[in-house]
Structure 1
Amino acid sequence: MLLTSIDPFVQEFERQFNRLARQSFDTGGALMPMDGLRRKDDVVLRFDLPGIDPDSIEVTVDRGVLSVSARREEEIVEDERLFVRERPMGTFTRRVYLSEHLDSERIDAGYHNGVLVVRIPVLERAKPRKVEISRGDSKAIKA
């Protein structure tokens, strides 16, 4: 049996602390949301990168780590004055650790409508396969 006390003050404090911690210590991962899905022959990663110049996107693989970097540049000209800033600017990076069952030599990537799609093939030896069952002659045991 688990006993906990419910203190609304503590819950609100923890909620606010967690919100501030995410804002203050976020390493940029949340700025590049990702979906990952496994299909029969590959793994697909989709990264949201709206407003990013495709030429600034870089996808690299080094020792089993896939890194995606992108840069959003300042768009203010000389006679404009910024009064609200909610869109983050600068360079964003996201790292994904790849399984040894993925073929990091044959990764491909494409960018369309603000979404970067990275496809990583599954190695042949890691794909599910059917195991044949051999049937031997049945021998009757005499007692």
Structure 2
Amino acid sequence: MKQTIPFDEMDRLFESMRRSMLGGSWMAGDTNLRLEATDDGYLVHADLPGFESDELDVRFDDGVLTIDAVHEVEDDDRSRSRRIHESVRVGADVHIEEIEAEYHNGVLEVRLPVDEAHDGGHRIDVN
């Protein structure tokens, strides 16, 4: 069993948070997630080999994209399962009705279109 030094775990968590806020890719367990800024929003890639599309639960709520996946296999004398739970915060006004997701050859691709009128925030005039 691998022993983790508390500061190593904290560094890993901070690195994951930094990348989720600034974009990029990171490894979390055996899932590779990539968040890319595009001209019309964001594109999230998740490597999820071995799952079927009906085993994926993809949700967007309160600025967070969450991916849950469960794959269960039952043999004659035993059963196995593989579970994945990943989430990424998107700091923009996403058009929820226009989110699209596709799953092909073990890769989930989620398109998150954003409001072009909001390019990083709303300017507030000071009187």
TM-score (norm 2): 0.64
* CA distance in 2 between partners of 1:33 and 1:89 (Å): 19
Report the Cα offset of residue 127 of structure 1.
Answer: 4.6
* CA distance in 2 between partners of 1:49 and 1:111 (Å): 9
Q: Which residue matches 2:101?
A: 109
Report the Cα offset of residue 101 of structure 1.
Answer: 3.3
| 1:12-37 deviation per Cα after TM superposition (whole angstroms, max 9, x unaligned) | xxxx635xx87xxx9x9323210111
Aligned residue for 1:126, secondary structure, equals coil
Alignment of 1:1-143 (within 5 A): 17-18=4-5, 29-75=28-74, 77-78=75-76, 89-127=81-119
* CA distance in 2 between partners of 1:91 and 1:101 (Å): 30
Name structure 2 gaps, 5 residues minimum: 14-26, 121-127
Report the Cα offset of residue 96 of structure 1.
Answer: 1.2
Q: Name the % identity.
A: 32
1:37–1:44 CA contact under 8 A, matched in 2: yes
Larger radius of gyration: 1
1:48–1:116 CA contact under 8 A, matched in 2: yes
- Larger relative strand fraction: 2
Report the Cα offset of residue 44 of structure 1.
Answer: 0.5
1:29–1:93 CA contact under 8 A, matched in 2: no
Report the Cα offset of residue 114 of structure 1.
Answer: 0.3
Name structure 1 gaps, 5 residues minimum: 1-15, 83-87, 129-143
* CA distance in 1 between partners of 2:85 and 2:4 (Å): 25
| 1:76-124 deviation per Cα after TM superposition (whole angstroms, max 9, x unaligned) | x227x89xxxxx8332111111213332332110000000000001212
1:53–1:71 CA contact under 8 A, matched in 2: no
Q: Please identify, of 98-107 and 111-120, the stretch whose mean Cα deviation from structure 2 is larger.
A: 98-107
Q: Supply the RMSD in Å over aligned alpha carbons.
A: 3.1
Q: What residue identity is the alignment partner of 2:56?
A: I
